[in-house]
Chain A
Amino acid sequence: MKLKNQVKAAFRSLSKNKMRTFLTMLGIIIGVASVIAMLAIGQGSKESIQAQISSLGTNLLTIFPSASMTGGVRMEAGSSVKMNLDDYKAIATRCPAVMYSTPTVRTSGQLIAAGQNWRTSVWGVYPDYFEIRNLAIQTGAVFTAAEDRAAAKICVVGQTVSKNLFGEGTDPVGKLIRINKIPFSICGLLTAKGQNAFGQDQDDIVIAPFTTVQERMMTITYINSIMVSATSESMIPEATDEITQVLKERHHLGPSEDPDFTIRSQADISSAATATSGILTILLASIASISLLVGGIGIMNIMLVSVTERTREIGIRMGVGARGRDVLLQFLIEALMISLIGGILGVGFGILTSQIIASIMKWPVTITLQSILLSFLFSTAIGIFFGWYPARKAASLNPIDALRYE
Chain B
Amino acid sequence: MEQEEEGNMTDAIISTQHLVKTYKMGDMEVHALRGIDIDIRKSDFVAIMGKSGSGKSTFMNIIGCLDVPTRGEYLLDGLDVGKMNRDELAHLRNRKIGFVFQSFNLLSRTSALENVELPLMYNNKISSHDMREKAMNALESVGLSGRSHHLPNQLSGGEQQRVAIARALVNDPVVILADEPTGNLDTRTSVEVMDIFQKLNKKGITVVIVTHEPDIAAYTNRNVSFRDGRILKDLQVEHPRIAGEELLLIPAISEEDTI
Contacts and interface: CB of A to CB of B under 8 A. Distances in A.
Interface of A: 1-2, 4-5, 9, 12, 16, 312-313, 315-326, 398-400, 403
B119 interface: yes
Given A322-B90, A403-B105, A1 B121 contact: yes
Interface stretch (B12-20, B91-99, B135-143, B211-219): B91-99
A320 B94 contact: yes
Given A321-B93, A323-B90, 17 more contacts: A1-B121, A312-B105, A316-B107, A317-B118, A318-B90, A318-B93, A319-B64, A319-B93, A320-B93, A320-B119, A321-B119, A321-B122, A322-B90, A323-B87, A326-B122, A400-B66, A400-B67
A104 B27 CA distance: 93
Nearest to A5: B121
Interface residues on B, range: 20 to 34
B61 interface: yes
A4 B87 CA distance: 21
Interface string B183-216: 0000000000000000000000000000000000
Contacts of A2: 121, 124
Contacts of A12: 110
28 contacts: A2-B121, A2-B124, A5-B121, A5-B128, A313-B107, A315-B105, A316-B105, A318-B66, A319-B64, A319-B93, A319-B99, A319-B105, A320-B99, A320-B118, A320-B167, A321-B93, A323-B86, A323-B90, A323-B91, A324-B87, A325-B87, A326-B122, A398-B67, A399-B67, A400-B61, A400-B67, A403-B66, A403-B105
B105 A9 contact: no
A326 B107 CA distance: 16
Contacts of B128: 4-5
Interface string B60-85: 01001011000000000000000000
A403 B103 CA distance: 10
A346 B121 CA distance: 33
Contacts of A400: 61, 66-67
A321 to B, nearest CB: 2
B118 to A, nearest CB: 5
A378 to B, nearest CB: 32
B112 to A, nearest CB: 14
B1 to A, nearest CB: 37
Centre residue among A2, A313, A321 by max chain B CB count within 10 A: A321
Nearest to A399: B66
Contact of B91 (A4, A315, A321): A321
Centre residue among B94, B101, B122, B167 by max chain A CB count within 10 A: B122
B149 interface: no
A16 B114 CA distance: 15
Nearest to A317: B118
A403 B57 CA distance: 13
Contacts of A320: 93-94, 99, 118-119, 122, 167
B109 interface: yes
Contacts of A16: 109
Contacts of B99: 319-320
A321 B107 contact: no
Contacts of B8: none
Nearest to B99: A319
B123 interface: yes
A316 B86 CA distance: 15
A321 B87 CA distance: 9
Contacts of B67: 398-400
Nearest to B124: A2
Contacts of A315: 105
A104 to B, nearest CB: 79
A406 to B, nearest CB: 11
Contacts of B171: 321
A320 B66 CA distance: 10
Interface in B107-161: 107, 109-110, 118-119, 121-124, 128
Nearest to A9: B121
A394 B110 CA distance: 20
Nearest to B108: A313
B153 to A, nearest CB: 13
A399 B99 CA distance: 12
